[in-house]
């Protein structure tokens, strides 16, 4: 199966823009008439529904931010009758107090459709067995992949997180072909499989992993492939836009954002100006058909860019680059911007290291210091002090060359650093600002 919904996924650009405009118009008319929040916001911005004459007029509309959801906790932004709600989720609160999101039946259908399209773009179909090892519950990952997988007609295993040996057993016994979880949890599963003597490449049918909910790097993609033979796809979403749903296709070169579902902008985080394709900025999305809690020009806070040019897979939707992390994940060390995902990328360039690491940032007199603790691969363990000192300075040099900032490195034995089932929390910042 090449596409899940060929007509819409390959719609010529101009037709797609026409469709996006129609959807936006319906949304804005409805909100202006029925939502006190949007009505007031639009009034304050001096814009009327009649000012929206093409999809590019979307830039006249005011932005929304995470604080709008927090300020209207728990459900003051709900724009439909309470009876029409069929589900709530509560976000994990990566950056502060959690927020509540709500869904109508149509909202769930749209989300599942987006996930089904993405799974097909990763090469999956009805014959696949999808093990969902994201958390089931208030977090959107578990149920999101679950419903999308079922919509596609794949066989879904609601494994949820944890119990890693049991996960490997399920992969073997139920002949799992694809798994969805966080990248850090998948790396942990690879380690557990090794420990119990299971070679994922030889002893299982697992070939595809759909990994997201936290930043990860291209070198992680290579590492996973080397260690397990599994092709790792990136999946992106946030609870406010429904949940994880947009993945890279088999080209593995950017995540397609279905244009009839979401309108994507990249803006300058300082000025709010829209940036052209190719330029890095803050990801901003409008979910064009959302009913329960519509999100217009929602500033997601992640830094990325839209890829210029068309994808050879034939999908006409825009593609976004890997997300490095949120604006607020970024560490500033002695004036230099450092994303934890860039540290991972650098560490995995050293063959002796694993992707298990922790970052400690602290004040040393007037200066910032960063300590990177990283686990060695079991076969890189050695009693030779000279060997370890040599490796340590090689890792420090690699970090300095790639991040432009010096960090101290502590090499740790295998299995000594924390493991994460959900989103990894790798940074301990004890500086007081």
- Which one, 249 or 306, has the nearer CB to Zn ion? 249
Q: How many CB atoms lie within 10 A of CB 167?
A: 25
114: nearest Cα among 279, 271, 269, 288: 288
Judged by beta carbon distances under 5 to 8 A according to partner kind, the member of ligand ADP, Zn ion, none in contact with residue 313 is Zn ion
Binding-site member from 313, 331, 338, 399 for Zn ion (CB under 5 A): 313
Q: Does 92 bind ligand ADP (CB under 6 A)?
A: yes
Looking at the Cβ atoms of 117 and 326, the one nearer to Zn ion is 117
Q: What are phi and psi of 334, to 5 degrees?
A: 50, 40
- Dihedral pair phi/psi, residue 377, rounded to 5°: -70, 150
User: Tokens 């990325």 appear where?
Assistant: 304
Is 311 one of the binding residues for Zn ion (CB under 5 A)? yes
Q: To the nearest whole angstrom, how small is the minimum distance from the Cβ of residue 13 to Zn ion?
A: 15
Report in angstroms the alpha-carbon separations of 352 from 125, 192, 358, 391. 37, 19, 16, 8
For ligand ADP, the closer of residues 28 and 283 by Cβ is 283
> What residues pair up with 327 in beta bridges, in sequence order?
none
Residue 238 binds ligand ADP, judged by CB under 6 A? yes
- Residue showing the smallest CB distance to ligand ADP in the complex: 94
Q: What binding mask, one character per residue, do residues 130-159 give for ligand ADP by CB under 6 A, x or -?
A: ----------x-------------------
Q: Does position 234 bind ligand ADP by CB under 6 A? A: yes
CA distance 347 to 343: 6
Using the minimum distance from each CB to ligand ADP, give the nearer residue, 193 or 300.
300
Q: How many residues comprise the chain?
A: 433
CA distance 56 to 20: 10
Residue 432 has what DSSP assignment?
-
Question: Of ligand ADP, Zn ion, none, which one sits near residue 321, judging by CB under 5 to 8 A according to partner kind?
Answer: none
Q: Does 212 help bind ligand ADP (rule: CB under 6 A)?
A: yes
Q: What share of the chain is helix, strand, coil (3-state, %, to 5)?
A: 35, 25, 40
Residue 326 in the binding site for ligand ADP (CB under 6 A): yes
Residues that bind Zn ion (CB under 5 A): 249, 251, 311, 313, 315
Residues that bind ligand ADP (CB under 6 A): 91-94, 140, 212-215, 234-236, 238-239, 300, 302, 323, 326
């Amino acid at each position: 199966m090449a596409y899940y919904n060929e007509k819409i996924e390959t719609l010529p650009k101009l037709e797609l823009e026409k469709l996006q405009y129609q959807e936006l118009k319906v949304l804005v008319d409805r909100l202006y008439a029925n939502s006190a929040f949007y009505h007031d916001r639009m009034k304050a911005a001096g814009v009327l529904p009649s000012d929206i004459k093409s999809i590019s007029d979307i830039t006249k509309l005011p932005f929304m931010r995470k604080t709008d959801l927090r300020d209207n906790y728990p459900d003051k932004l709900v724009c439909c009758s309470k009876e029409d709600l069929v589900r709530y989720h509560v976000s994990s609160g990566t950056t502060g107090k959690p927020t509540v999101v709500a869904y109508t039946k149509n909202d769930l259908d749209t989300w599942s459709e987006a996930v089904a399209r993405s799974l097909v773009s990763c090469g999956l179909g009805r014959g696949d067995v999808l093990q969902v090892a994201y958390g089931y519950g208030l977090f959107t990952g578990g149920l999101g992949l679950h419903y999308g997988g079922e919509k596609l007609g794949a066989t879904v295993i609601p494994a949820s997180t944890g119990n890693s040996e049991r996960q490997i057993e399920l992969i073997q016994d139920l002949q799992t072909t694809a798994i969805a979880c966080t990248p850090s949890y998948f790396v942990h599963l690879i380690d557990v499989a090794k420990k119990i003597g299971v070679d994922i490449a030889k002893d299982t049918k697992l070939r595809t992993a759909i990994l997201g909910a936290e930043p990860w790097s291209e070198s992680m993609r290579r590492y996973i492939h080397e260690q397990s033979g599994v092709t790792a796809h990136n999946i992106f979403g946030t609870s406010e836009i429904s949940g994880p749903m947009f993945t890279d296709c088999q080209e593995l070169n950017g995540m397609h954002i279905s244009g009839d579902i979401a309108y994507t902008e990249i803006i300058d985080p300082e000025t709010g100006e829209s940036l052209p394709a190719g330029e890095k900025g803050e990801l901003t999305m409008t979910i064009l058909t959302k009913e329960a809690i519509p999100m217009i020009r929602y500033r997601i806070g992640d830094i990325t860019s839209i890829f210029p040019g068309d994808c050879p897979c034939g999908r006409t939707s825009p593609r976004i680059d890997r997300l490095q992390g949120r604006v607020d994940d970024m560490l500033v060390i002695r004036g230099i911007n450092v994303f934890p995902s860039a540290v991972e990328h650098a560490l995995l360039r050293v063959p002796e290291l694993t992707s298990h690491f922790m970052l400690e940032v602290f004040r040393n007199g007037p200066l910032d210091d960063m300590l990177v603790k990283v686990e060695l691969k079991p076969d890189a363990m050695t009693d030779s002090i000279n060997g370890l000192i040599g490796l340590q300075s090689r890792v420090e040099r690699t970090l300095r060359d790639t991040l432009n900032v010096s960090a101290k490195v502590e090499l740790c034995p295998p299995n000594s650093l924390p493991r994460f089932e959900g989103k990894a929390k790798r940074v301990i910042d004890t500086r007081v600002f």
